[in-house]
Amino acid sequence: MILEELLDELEGVRKHGQYYMARCPAHDDRTQSLQVSEREDGSLGVYCHAECSVDEVMEAIGRAPKDLFPEEAGERIYTYRDEHGKPLYDVVRKPGKEFLQRRYLPDGSLTWGLEDTRRVLYRLPEILAAPADRWIFVCEGEKDVDAFFDRGYFATCNVGGAGKWQDGYAEFLKDRYVSVVRDKDEAGGKHAAEVMLSVSKGAKQVRLLEARRGKDAFDHFAAGYGPDDFIEPSVFKQMDFTRPVRPPEWLWESFVAKGDLVLAAGVPKLGKSWLTMGLAVAVANGYGSYLNHATEQGRVLYFDEENPGDVVYERIMQRLGHRNLESLRYIWSGGLRLDIHPELLMQEVVLYRPSLIVIDSLARVH
């Protein structure tokens, strides 16, 4: 999609220097709040001052955000150079995301394959010449890197993409401010973690970024966002201390909460099986308390790979007085093996839907 095509889809278009203003098609716009511009790389930027998203604007004219970025035709060549600007090798991107590599010979000719050619970072001379206070964006591919340079920012990547980072690359980023841009897939997540650990040893500061829209930096820019719009993600969800504390829902007050995984550990013959059998009977029969602590009634699924059958019967039925047979499903010597067939346990859980699951003992089922 070229600029003229986009402007033809809009109403109230007026030129303002290097950009255009028009009525936003995504809302009832009477003030021409949509800004449209063309970047150096041919991509188009749209920004609604009334805060309509790029997706909403493009959908309103029957287009997709990707239409803001020109389709690539033919092959694309990315040249890797050493510190002095001497070309070492090329990455040739063919249509359909096919990548080929070729190296430069001493006479300046090219031959396919890299062999033992020295590996360097993409656009290394520009990175080394960048001012010390500028952030360097480390991406997964050359296409992302060039998208940063097109917008006046410094970026780099290693040859080969995800999983091909070498610790030696970190020397080029020593004493630098480094932003690692993570691709939104499993390989991208692992690659970003490897890069961060590598460069953190010598960099002044390292941060992790992710595209606000799409999979990578290229998609992020294609959706109309700028270099300052990346988000800082985390693999893990942190605890929100600003919210009120949610009190635990006790199955056995002060000891076992709903959703808990509890390990009863101790020396042999201490009474661990007695403890769990008593709890199982108290919950299954709705006694309301066990060892002077409140219990909630519910079904119990008990796997016993440890105790003899006559001992189990004598304790459960005679000593503990179990009567509600429908609420205690006791699997005795059933051959449960969590290291071989854990799905069988989950199958039983889905069928019986217990409130409490007891496994006696953990060592036996492994």
pLDDT of 317-341, one tens digit each?
A: 999 999 999 999 999 999 999 888 8
Q: Are residues 271 and 347 located together in one domain of the fold?
A: yes
How remote is the C-alpha of 197 from its chain's centroid? Answer: 17
pLDDT of 41 reads 64
Q: Is the pLDDT of residue 311 over 90?
A: yes
Q: Is the pLDDT of residue 278 over 60?
A: yes
Q: Is the pLDDT of residue 72 over 60?
A: no
Six-digit token string for 35: 């800004």
Q: Are residues 213 and 273 located together in one domain of the fold?
A: no
Pairing of strands 177-182, 293-294: unpaired
Burial of residue 159 (number of CB atoms within 10 Å: 0-12, 13-18, 19+)? buried
| Residue 238 included in any domain | no
> Which letter, b or e, does each residue of 130-153 get, where b requires 16 or more Cβ atoms within 10 Å of its Cβ?
beeeebbbbbbbbbbbbbbbeeeb
Q: Is the pLDDT of residue 48 over 60?
A: yes
| Residue 242 included in any domain | no
Domain that holds residue 38: 3-68
Q: Is the pLDDT of residue 94 over 70?
A: yes
Mean pLDDT computed over 115-131: 96
| Residue 184 included in any domain | yes
Name residue 120's beta-bridge partners: none
| Residue 234 included in any domain | no
pLDDT of 38 reads 85
Q: Are residues 202 and 89 located together in one domain of the fold?
A: yes
| Residue 244 included in any domain | no
Return the percentage of the chain with pLDDT > 70, whole number: 97
The mean predicted confidence, pLDDT, of the chain is: 91
> Which letter, b or e, does each residue of 197-232 get, where b requires 16 or more Cβ atoms within 10 Å of its Cβ?
ebbeeebeebebbbbebbebbbbbbbbbbebeebee
| Residue 236 included in any domain | no
Mean pLDDT computed over 250-270: 93
Q: Are residues 120 and 149 located together in one domain of the fold?
A: yes
- Sequence-distant (6+) residues with CB within 8 A of 267 are none
Q: Is the pLDDT of residue 1 over 70?
A: no
Mean pLDDT computed over 253-266: 94
Segment holding 12, helix H or strand E: strand 11-16
Domain end position, chosen among 45, 68, 91: 68
Domain end position, chosen among 19, 47, 68: 68
Q: Are residues 301 and 337 located together in one domain of the fold?
A: yes
| Residue 237 included in any domain | no
Q: Are residues 298 and 329 located together in one domain of the fold?
A: yes
Mean pLDDT computed over 60-74: 75
Integer Cα distance of 227 and 45 in angstroms: 13
Six-digit token string for 347: 């199958």
Mean pLDDT computed over 90-99: 83
pLDDT of 71 reads 61
What values do phi and psi take at 305, rounded to 5?
A: -110, 15
**Whether this model's pTM surpasses 0.85:** no
Q: Are residues 175 and 103 located together in one domain of the fold?
A: yes
Integer Cα distance of 178 and 190 in angstroms: 17
Count up the domains in the chain and report the number. Answer: 3
Q: Are residues 54 and 100 located together in one domain of the fold?
A: no
Q: Are residues 188 and 208 located together in one domain of the fold?
A: yes
pLDDT of 138-193, one tens digit each?
A: 999 999 999 999 999 999 999 999 999 999 999 999 999 999 999 998 899 999 99
Domain end position, chosen among 198, 229, 260: 229
Q: Are residues 83 and 147 located together in one domain of the fold?
A: yes
Cα 59 to Cα 46, 52, 67: the distances in Å are 13, 11, 11
Q: Is the pLDDT of residue 241 over 90?
A: no
118: domain CATH number?
Answer: 3.40.1360.10
What DSSP state is assigned to residue 85? S
Q: Are residues 130 and 94 located together in one domain of the fold?
A: yes
pLDDT of 224 reads 84
Q: Are residues 18 and 48 located together in one domain of the fold?
A: yes
| Residue 241 included in any domain | no
pLDDT of 55 reads 82
